[in-house]
Each structure stands twice: as C-alpha cells, then as structure tokens.
Amino acid sequence: MSTVITHAITLLGRYGWGPQGRTLGISKMFQDADVALLKSQKAVAALRPRGILSGFLVVTANAAVFVPPPTGRQQPYIVRLRLSLPFVTGGYVFSAYGDNGDIVLEDVLVWEGKGIFAEKGFAERWELMGQFMGGWQPDNALQGCTIRFAEYMALAELLTQEPEERQVVEFVPLTANGKRLVWVPVAEEVKGTIWLARREALVGPDIYSLWTTTGEKQSQHALVRTLAISRALRLHPAAEFRVNAVWNKMFERWEILGIA
C-alpha cells in the first residue's frame, strides 16, 4: 500500500471514520421506530443501488484517495482531481460509494480539517458540497473514473417514485449527526382491501379519497405511487370506482395498488 493511501486512511481514522476510526459507516437499516422521523418531514430521500455500502473520498494535501467500506473486497486507490485553491491543501472527507465504476459523492463529513457531520445539519453540509462543486473541474481522463453527486428529493416527491428492482431507499435526516436510514423494499404479492375511490379534483395532483361501501370516509387521502397506476385511475370513466388498496406502514396511509 502506497504512503499516500496509508496517510489518507490514517487521517480518516483521526476524524473517527473508516477502518481505523470509531465509526465504520454513516448508514443503518430503517426500523419501525424511525417512522416518527418521516412523519416530522425532517429528512430527504435518495434512491441508490442495492447492496453497495458507503465508503469515503479523502482529499489530502497530496492526492485524493477513495477508501471503500471495510466489508468490501475493493482496495483503496488514488483519484487524481483537478482542484482549485483552497481544496488542494486537503483536509476534506466525503462519504461516497462506487456505482459501476463511478464514484458518487453523497455528503461531506470533514471540511477544512474540521469534522462537521456532528455539528451541522444536512442542508448546511450540502451547501458546502456546492462550494466543492465550484472548486472542482471534472476531468474523467485524469480521474480515471466519472465522479458525480447524489440526487435527493423531498419525502413528498418520493411518493411518486418507485424504486427499481435493484434499488433501495435511503432517508437522510436533516439534523446534525443523523445516520442515514436504508429501507429495502420487499417485493411480495399483497392482497389489498377493496374501497370506493373518488377523485377530489379533475386537474392537479392525484388526490383520491377512499370510502367504504357503507359510506364511511377515510381520514387521509390515498397514496398513488406509480405513473402506471395514476394513468389507469385518470382514464377511468366513472367518478367513483372500486380500487384495491393496502395499508402503507411507512407513510401511514392507504396506497392504491390498482383498479379492482
């Protein structure tokens, strides 16, 4: 292992991260107790490849080094970056993961030699990430890979997204020192409940109220999470029709699966 890589791993450990630090990673699995965070809306979400853990990109005074998660088989390697001052002086650590040869930067943990993950909320950290974007000139030939930045969405936007087969959902708390929460969708055949659905408005977003056959209305609007279901509901000729819905535990609402 080269001196540059050894120095980067040692530096990473001093800040408490990586194989030599107190904290190996920045994520944990989503649990039922974390539903309160989603209800408070104090988080953003991202879709990421399944089975890929976060590592680190360490920018030192000499070079940048990608340090993969300790559980992986990949070895640390040097990434040559075209940076402007003051970034060439080093002292920056980003959480990052590999995706088909690319490096995806998702958060900043150390800025100008100071650990900020436990002190600054995600919005502040992402503003600093923007400063790094402004001081970095992409050069794939020099880097030896493509470097891109993670994309985040509000929780409300997540309701309109459907993870692909090999994706997981990651919730990022907006508060400081908040570990990411990884939720793995489970593909299974779900038997829903039959309701009568009524569209609240002819234009605008998909807002449906659910009613029982005896005329009892549910207290919350139903979720419509895919474009295919949205299109099928919009094309239905009747103002009220039967739908198949299942209780979505994560969002604590009924989710329409399709027309019954």
Is 69 in the same domain as 148? yes
Q: What is the mean pLDDT of residues 189-203?
A: 73
Whether 243 has a pLDDT exceeding 50, the answer reads yes
Residue 188 belongs to some domain of the structure? no
Is 206 in the same domain as 131? no
Residue 95 belongs to some domain of the structure? yes
Is 67 in the same domain as 105? yes
Residue 64 belongs to some domain of the structure? yes
- Quote the percentage of the chain above a pLDDT of 70: 92
Is 138 in the same domain as 223? no
Q: What is the mean pLDDT of residues 188-192?
A: 57
Q: Which of 148, 183, 218 is the last residue of a domain?
A: 183
Is 94 in the same domain as 159? yes
Q: How confident is the model at residue 202 (pLDDT cuts 50, 70, 90)?
A: low
Q: Which of 155, 183, 211 is the last residue of a domain?
A: 183
Is 16 in the same domain as 96? yes
Rounded-to-integer distance, Cα 97 and Cα 101, Å: 10
Q: Which of 183, 201, 234 is the last residue of a domain?
A: 183
Q: How confident is the model at residue 155 (pLDDT cuts 50, 70, 90)?
A: confident
Q: Which secondary structure element, helix H or strand E, spans residue 220, and what is its range?
A: none
Is 163 in the same domain as 218? no
Whether 102 has a pLDDT exceeding 60, the answer reads yes
Q: How confident is the model at residue 248 (pLDDT cuts 50, 70, 90)?
A: confident
Q: Helices then strands (H, E): number in the chain?
A: 6, 18
Q: What is the mean pLDDT of residues 165-172?
A: 88
Q: What is the mean pLDDT of residues 79-99?
A: 90
Q: Which domain holds residue 252?
A: 193-259
Per-residue pLDDT tens over the stretch 26-82? 888 888 788 888 888 899 999 999 888 899 999 988 789 999 987 667 899 999 999
Is 212 in the same domain as 179? no
What is the domain-level CATH number for residue 65?
A: 3.30.470.30
The tally of domains found in the chain comes to 2
What is the domain-level CATH number for residue 202?
A: 2.40.50
**Residue 248: phi, psi to the nearest 5?**
-90, 105
Is 225 in the same domain as 177? no
Whether 110 has a pLDDT exceeding 90, the answer reads yes
Q: How confident is the model at residue 6 (pLDDT cuts 50, 70, 90)?
A: very high
Q: What SS3 class is residue 218?
A: coil
Question: Mean pLDDT in the chain?
Answer: 86
Most confident of 29-43, 210-224, 235-249: 29-43
- Here the tokens at position 221 are 């609007």
Is 176 in the same domain as 205? no
Q: Of 107, 226, 111, which Cα lies nearest the Cα of 170? A: 107
Residue 178 belongs to some domain of the structure? yes
- Quote the percentage of the chain above a pLDDT of 90: 41
Is 59 in the same domain as 146? yes
Is 168 in the same domain as 210? no
Rounded-to-integer distance, Cα 82 and Cα 90, Å: 13
Burial class (CB within 10 angstroms; exposed 0-12, middle 13-18, buried 19+) of 97 = buried
- Here the tokens at position 219 are 């207290």
Structure pTM? 0.73
Whether 189 has a pLDDT exceeding 50, the answer reads no
Q: What is the mean pLDDT of residues 18-32?
A: 81
